[in-house]
A and B are shown apart, each in its own frame.
Chain A
Amino acid sequence: MRSLLFILTLAIGAAVGLGLTWFTTVKGYGPASIRSGAWEAWPKAGAEDADPYARAALARAGELPLELADGLAFVASTDDAGMPLDGRCDIRLTGSLPQARFWTLTVTDPRGRLIDNPAKRSGFTSPEVVWNRDGTLDLLLGPRARPGNWLPTGARERIVLTLRLYDTPVGLARRTSDAPAMPRLVTERCP
């Protein structure tokens, strides 16, 4: 009986410990994130003093973080209403972007791979897009080609957007309250 209880202790320990470790490193890069609308970023993951959760998540994914002195990546997997981004729908991205020398926007599947499409386009860079007169951006994501700023989604069920700001002051002040205003994401029409 004694040894049975001992084995139970070990089993609980292993299950809880490994489960927690898996759970905390499988999505995102630890607890130190900043949020703005549907977007989330981990400025500290790209710094020398990254927390152990960020380090573990990066090592596990096999990634090298974007260094904070280089830029900052914002990730969105839902729209502003909290609905998962669905590549079969028309999704509109509007608004102004934080100050940066360059930015890039990339569409991937949930595993971070690019989505093949006939237009051979998987993102935009800031010099490529057509801006509105007032300096804001209006961009449409969807399965069907559109005039203007259009990003194909390959009609995937789930897509993820990554907006990377380069040479930007954003994130250098390490407080959550400093999250910049990010563009809105609205799902417009679904088949």
Chain B
Amino acid sequence: MKRLIVPILAGLVLGGIVHLVGVLILPYLAEKDAYSRLSAIGDVNTVTPIDDPSSEGAVLPASDPAFVSAVCLYDLGDGPLKIRVPTTEDYTSISFYTRYGMPFYAINDRSAGRSVIELDLMNAKQKAALPENDEVTVADRLVVESPSDEGVVLIRGLVRERSAREAIKALVDAAGCDSPS
């Protein structure tokens, strides 16, 4: 009996280590994570509408059925992107996530304060390369710095009442996500 104590204790310690490592690498190993679910429906650097949640489930679990959503999976490898989203009469929001689901920026129609939200999405290097004494940069452009080259832009518009769904869907689908001309 006594000789079992050491293996059991060692096993528990090993279990703790396995657990910690498991939790830390799970976001990188999860096969059906948000990014892979979204890449099944949309291409990189284009806006793709997301189907509304139903009784069969949703493209992204736990998404709010009161919203119309669209997604832009981005890759900044070829340069910065310009995100343009027309705001709806109600709540409109744009959320940014890295490839592994880390949220890093969100903005809504009110904090943007205009009828079309325009954002320049770039990585740290591209941001550093922006001309410095360009006054327009500071005053008129919203620059979002992405910590990674790849990620997800989630565009969502609240549907106040069912009858407004089509109109809001048209606005959300009109969003753009392309390289600035």
Contact = CB atoms under 8 A, between A and B. Distances in A.
Given A5-B7, A67-B103, A12 B61 contact: no
Interface residues of B, number: 63
B36 to A, nearest CB: 8
A91 to B, nearest CB: 19
B108 interface: yes
B116 interface: no
A56 B65 contact: no
Interface residues of A, number: 61
B22 interface: yes
B62 A162 contact: yes
B111 to A, nearest CB: 8
Interface stretch (A110-118, A131-139, A141-149, A176-184): A110-118
Contacts of A81: none
A56 B27 contact: yes
B171 interface: no
Given A55-B101, A69-B106, A167-B110, A13 B11 contact: yes
Interface in B1-33: 3-4, 6-8, 10-19, 21-24, 26-27, 30, 32-33
B66 to A, nearest CB: 4
A88 interface: no
A119 B8 CA distance: 57
Contact of B93 (A20, A52, A70): A70
Contact of B91 (A24, A68, A113, A166): A166
Given A102-B91, A167-B91, 9 more contacts: A56-B22, A58-B34, A59-B26, A62-B30, A62-B32, A63-B60, A66-B95, A67-B95, A113-B53
21 contacts: A8-B8, A9-B11, A11-B11, A16-B18, A17-B16, A18-B19, A18-B22, A21-B23, A59-B100, A63-B34, A63-B62, A63-B101, A70-B95, A70-B108, A101-B110, A102-B158, A106-B65, A113-B57, A114-B54, A125-B159, A167-B110
CB-based closest 3 A-B pairs: A17-B18, A12-B11, A16-B15
